[in-house]
Amino acid sequence: MFTFVLVVYIARYLGVVVYGRYSTALMFATMFLFFADLGLSVLTIREVSRNIEEAGKYIGNVTVIKLALALLTWGFVAALSNFMWFPEDTKYAVYLLMAALIINTFIETFCAIFRAYEQMGYEAFVKIFQKAACMVFGIIALVAGFGFKGVVNAYLGANVVSGIICLIILHKKFVKFRFLFDFDFCRKIIRSALPVGISIFFSVIYLRGAATLFLSKMKGDAVVGWYSAAFKPIEVLMVISMGFTGALFPVFSKLYKNSRESLLFTCEKAIKVLMAIIIPIAVGTTILADELICAVYGSSFKNSAGALQILVWAGVLIFVNSVLTQLLIAINKQRFNAIFTFLCVVFNVGMNLILIPRLSYIGSSITAVGTELLLFVLCFLVISRVLGLIPLHKIIIKPVIAGVAMGLSIFVIRGMPLFIIIPAGMVVYFIFLKLLKILDKDDYEILKSLFRR
């Protein structure tokens, strides 16, 4: 949410074109972040959750590997950006944002230890501080008149401070940090992490990377700004799903080792809880997209509304896929993630090249939904074969009924102000949530335990 507030300030202070440049720079840097991590953060969570006594060994070796990767990645991305069509201020932003994102990969690695110990409170503290610092520093830079370059400098500074705090917590509370380098061990963990890292790399490309770069080249910075403004609420929703499934990942890993029946049951529960959250959001956003975009970003971003109405349904699929992809990693089927995300990249790139010239950013929005649907089908088929069939029709039917009821109530009062429409819609949804008994006692316990962590 802090990041979203900062983005709104950037969009309103700097306008559609400059916001488009910021989005292009951030996505360009993010696309190459894989080379600075290789999936090592996710691997650390899985392995340390299974063998907690090896936490120090993992963090020491992984840090050394990532330091070397960080230098190589930053140099490569900085050089490559100079061969792109970007304006000079976009290139400058790439340099600093790449450095900030690399620091963030170290934060993710250190937080992996917190997750492995199932002490998510420390991770929450670091992440909240990091996002809040980015927001505060960034807004100060904008208000003080430092503009686009001031924002990216603030972003880098906030990540540096957050990284130092995270390292101190790790050293004081969990494992004594020290650099280690065991060549055979490093080679082993890189080989294990690569499928996960590759799938993350491909995910970044098909989620927004390909669309952002193609729109920037074919349609210009203003169109990138409209598309990015529509996608930003989806990224906020992704934080919810990623935080939820990230907290469940160590549990998935342990259950696969001890009880596969319980693992499938927990997976079903996770999907049900996430559907109960996302479906009313998707329905309400589809109906109120015009009003929401103008209220948040201003009238200069009104063209984003059409994209948002489509992209929010990609968000629904992202919620389900966040569970399924984490489950594949937990059951040691991460190679399927790499294969599936590669297929999604091929599909996404091809569809964007076909649809952008004809439909511009609306074509990219349609492509995003199609890509997530493809990933869902592929993951669902593998998990059904390995663990058993997940009864999705039973899981989603009640949230859909409650969402439709809420949508009808919103239609009736749509002419009223948003601060009346949104709470009224929520009340209707919660009434149906209770009447249909969408969430049972176990579901609420899952939510409570995850928030405690």
Find, among 324, 295, 307, 409, the residue nearest to 364 by Cα: 307
Given a cut of 70, is residue 336 above it in pLDDT? yes
Query: 1: pLDDT confidence band, cut at 50, 70 and 90?
Result: low
| Alpha carbon distance 114, 111 (integer Å) | 5
CA distances from 217 to 20, 21, 97, 125, 211 (A): 12, 12, 20, 39, 10
The predicted model gives 104-117 an average pLDDT of 81
Tell me the mean pLDDT in the region 309-329.
92
Give the pLDDT mean for 300-314. Answer: 95
Q: Is the pLDDT of residue 243 over 60?
A: yes
The per-residue pLDDT for 237 is: 87
Residue bearing the bigger pLDDT, 229 or 173: 229
Which has more confidence, 80 or 389? 80
CA distance 152 to 93: 6
- Please check whether residue 89 is in contact with residue 149, taking contact to mean a CB–CB distance below 8 angstroms: yes
- Cα 257 to the chain's mean position, in Å? 27
pLDDT beyond 90 at 309: yes
Average pLDDT over residues 125-145: 90
Q: pLDDT value at position 447?
A: 60
In the structure encoding, which two tokens stand for residue 14, read together? 């700097």
Kindly calculate the radius of gyration of the chain based on its CA atoms and give it in whole angstroms.
22
Mean pLDDT of all residues in 146-155: 90
Tokens for 311, please give them: 């992209």
Alpha-carbon span 242 to 265, nearest angstrom:
19
Nearest Cα to 151, choosing from 11, 342, 301? Answer: 11
Percent of all residues in the chain with a pLDDT value above 90, rounded to a whole number? 43
DSSP percent split of the chain into helix, strand, coil, nearest 5: 90, 0, 10
d(CA 173, CA 125): 14
Return d(Cα 46, Cα 39) in angstroms, integer. Answer: 11
Nearest to 291 by CA among 428, 426, 430, 420: 420
